Structure 1
Amino acid sequence: MTRKLRVGVIGAGIAQRHLVGYNWNKELFEVPVLCSLDEDRGRQAVADYGVGEFTSNVETLFERDDLDIIDVCTPPDSHFELSRRAIEAGKHVICEKPLFGSIADVDRMAGIVAGTDRKFMPIFQYRYGTGLQKLKRLIELGLTGKPFLTTIETHWWRGPAYYEVPWRGKWQSELGGGLLGHAIHAHDMLNYVHGACAEVFAYGATLVNPIEVEDTMTLSVRMQNGSLAALSMTLGSRKEISRLRFCFADMVAESILEPYTMGRDPWTFIAGEPEHQARIDAALADYEVKEDGYTRQFELFHHAIVEGGEPPVTLQDARNSLELVTAAYHSQRTGQPTPLPITPDHPLYTSWLP
């Protein structure tokens, strides 16, 4: 019989997407408790998703001995402290993006987790879209050839009403703008496909709304594998799209344009030669479609806890993602290319907040 893991959820906003993922994995998880400072929304989520009980006292979650996992779905500035307390209380941890406010915090958390037998999983659920997983398969089978260029567009719309939520649009509480909070998923896909970045040059601006943080940005990136990438992000696109194009020597992979599920099928995989197209088509013909998004990421985390092994998304994955953010902010402010990795002697290692 499959062992069910018990999850305590903190938060009632993005947490509701997590609750959908747990409900699709009912044989693997149960959620006895949800904690939120927004009592009305929290109690409604408990009722809507069949959670055991509601509390507004987060201390009770750390004290309970019947929880295997604490899932942190709060505003970004609270992530580190809640995660630290959960690990020290003997729980496994799931934490929403953006993970923390500095590379130093990621490294501190890695040290904390290393001293325990607990597992820590940042959220990057977009990785598990069928289209992106098919590309990963073609790479593993050696059918793509050498990587040349990746272009990623995160062109969304956020009007004034979005920033009526008090913690949004502010450095101290949101920790960054569209680069950190919106484009981070698509940019994680860059690292997921190609590995770590080697150098970044960035322009950033606040053009769309009167907020503290950036809402429009372009990045030129050199990858450690030698390929190049051009990334653009704006929250001022009246037509919302997300688009990823990966140009390899032997084929081009292109995502759909749907802004929030761009990892899903139908992606296109176009080869340069008919014979090679046939090989690609044959490799994808028997691809086994699995659940995607949070559902799949949680399923893989359950396997890592019960069977052993690394979580499907690791702290190093989150570090790669936040290194790109750190380097982009540094480049924007200095007007110079910024090399990676970000090491403890880097001026923004302990914080990119201005």
Structure 2
Amino acid sequence: MPVETSLVRAAVIGTGGIVTGSHLPALRAHADRVRLVAAVDVDERRLAVFRDQAGEHVAGYHDTARMLAAERPDLVLIGTPPSLHTEQVCSALEAGAWVLCEKPLCLSLAEYDEIAAAEQRCGEKYSGAGGGRHGGGPGGPYASVVFQHRYGSGAVHARELLAAGELGRPLVAHCQTTWYRDAAYYGVAWRGRWSTEGGGPTMGHGIHQMDLLLHLLGDWSEVRAMAGRLVHAVESEDVSTALVRFESGAMATVVNSVLSPDEVSRLRIDCADATVELTHLYGHRNDDWTYTPAPHVDDRGPRTTRWRTPAADVPSSHAAQLGDFLDAREKGVRPPGSGQDARRTLEFAAAVYKSAFTGRPVGAGEITPGDPYYRAMHGNHPDWAPKERTEQ
């Protein structure tokens, strides 16, 4: 049953840079559909600064449970460190709120399945009310992860072309997230630690481009990977590489790095009739996408004109994803970037780690509850797990 289309009451948990710089502008971009009513942060000064920016109507809280009980928001946006996500997501679902959470949604496949169980439980809990403002039952509540690179007109257009076979069969791909982070970046206590960040650039940086790769090419079947800790004195990796085979037969290379002075995010897919390439850093517009016809394709024909002319130029952004999320909520349907769709990306990251640390290929569906990589991305590997775990 579709939920009501009155103004959605939203709350944010965490008021740091990602919420202030991305979620708050997204909420403002959809001010005709959603109203921010509350914010939660354990840091009183940071919360006060955020409320000054957001407006006097935003109530401040230092405790998530108290906020959920007092405000009963329809939507909760989460921008806290990753180790806090699962508990906060589940609490928001239990309160009947739909959730849009920063990546990674959680630290492991085990935690993801815990969130999925909470969705199921809360759907049954709220279905008796016939949906209502919380969108219970078949219409939610649901939890979705922020993968804003899927959104924007360039990505939407590329996916439509690939799905329709306009570019020919996908054959070879390259997915590159080569960024640079210095020692000061890892001076933040929760970064570089498995228990609080969940992993290095594979989980915290490259996951955006990897998600876009899977979004465009579909299900993967096999991963062979390597990882290294080459510069930074952290628990997790600072570089990873992978070879990937997709169910379609297409093959890809994936590189994730925080050691690269010349920073770039790049995605390239070579199809039978064309190459589509995206080059950007933290976000893209139509001009960041290029289409190169194969020699046998007319470069000036109507077919190639369609490739290069999306209907609009909408940049990838939190605002673009929030719009689609609100559309799904109004219809009472599962939002994009949730459920099995988002789990596939997390499973892919887990497979990269397992292959890199064990030195053997990993197949899709292999990491099940009895597998050590199901509960932690380091798989309790003696060379990679935190020392306190290996000494037990």
Q: Is TM (by shorter chain) over 0.5?
A: yes
Hey, which bits of structure 1, 4+ residues long, moved more than 4 A? none
Q: 1:95 maps to which residue?
A: 101
Any conservation in 1 of the 2:5–2:330 contact (CA below 8 Å)? no
- Return closer, same or farther for 1:263/1:187 CA change in 2, 3 Å cut-off: farther
2:23 is the counterpart of 1:18: yes
Greater mean deviation of Cα atoms: 341-350 or 308-317: 341-350
Any conservation in 2 of the 1:76–1:99 contact (CA below 8 Å)? yes
- Return closer, same or farther for 1:352/1:141 CA change in 2, 3 Å cut-off: closer
Displacement of 1:237:
0.8
Q: 1:142 aligns with which of 151, 165, 176?
A: 165
Q: 2:289 maps to which residue?
A: 267
Q: 1:197 maps to which residue?
A: 220
1:1-354 paired onto structure 2 within 5 Å:
3-13=6-16, 14-16=18-20, 17-50=22-55, 52-115=58-121, 116=123, 117=136, 118-256=141-279, 258-262=280-284, 265-272=287-294, 273-275=296-298, 278=301, 279-282=303-306, 284-285=308-309, 287-290=311-314, 292-341=316-365, 342-353=367-378, 354=385
Distance 1:2 1:338 in 2: 44
Distance 2:218 2:315 in 1: 24
AA in 2 matched with 1:268? T
Distance 1:235 1:264 in 2: 26
Any conservation in 1 of the 2:324–2:335 contact (CA below 8 Å)? yes
- Superposed CA deviations along residues 146-200 of structure 1, whole A, max 9, x for unmatched, are 1111101111110011111111111111111111000000000111001121111
AA in 2 matched with 1:171? W
- Superposed CA deviations along residues 188-216 of structure 1, whole A, max 9, x for unmatched, are 01110011211111110111211111111
Displacement of 1:11:
0.4
Secondary structure of the residue that 2:375 maps to in structure 1?
A: coil
- Return closer, same or farther for 1:2/1:209 CA change in 2, 3 Å cut-off: same
Displacement of 1:315:
2.4
Secondary structure of the residue that 1:312 maps to in structure 2?
A: coil
AA in 1 matched with 2:23? H
Secondary structure of the residue that 1:160 maps to in structure 2?
A: coil
Displacement of 1:130:
2.8
Distance 1:274 1:144 in 2: 10
Displacement of 1:350:
2.2
AA in 2 matched with 1:57? D
TM-score, normalisation: structure 2: 0.85
Distance 1:195 1:345 in 2: 26
Displacement of 1:80:
0.6
Distance 1:336 1:222 in 2: 14
Distance 1:62 1:191 in 2: 34
Any conservation in 2 of the 1:129–1:265 contact (CA below 8 Å)? no
- Superposed CA deviations along residues 231-282 of structure 1, whole A, max 9, x for unmatched, are 11111111111111011001100112x3111465331111114436521313
- Return closer, same or farther for 1:164/1:347 CA change in 2, 3 Å cut-off: closer
- Return closer, same or farther for 1:283/1:267 CA change in 2, 3 Å cut-off: closer
CA RMSD, 1 decimal? 1.8
TM-score, normalisation: structure 1: 0.94
Distance 2:86 2:309 in 1: 43
Greater mean deviation of Cα atoms: 62-71 or 74-83: 62-71
Any conservation in 2 of the 1:169–1:212 contact (CA below 8 Å)? yes
Any conservation in 2 of the 1:253–1:267 contact (CA below 8 Å)? yes
Distance 1:86 1:264 in 2: 35
AA in 2 matched with 1:259? L
AA in 2 matched with 1:108? E
Any conservation in 2 of the 1:270–1:277 contact (CA below 8 Å)? no
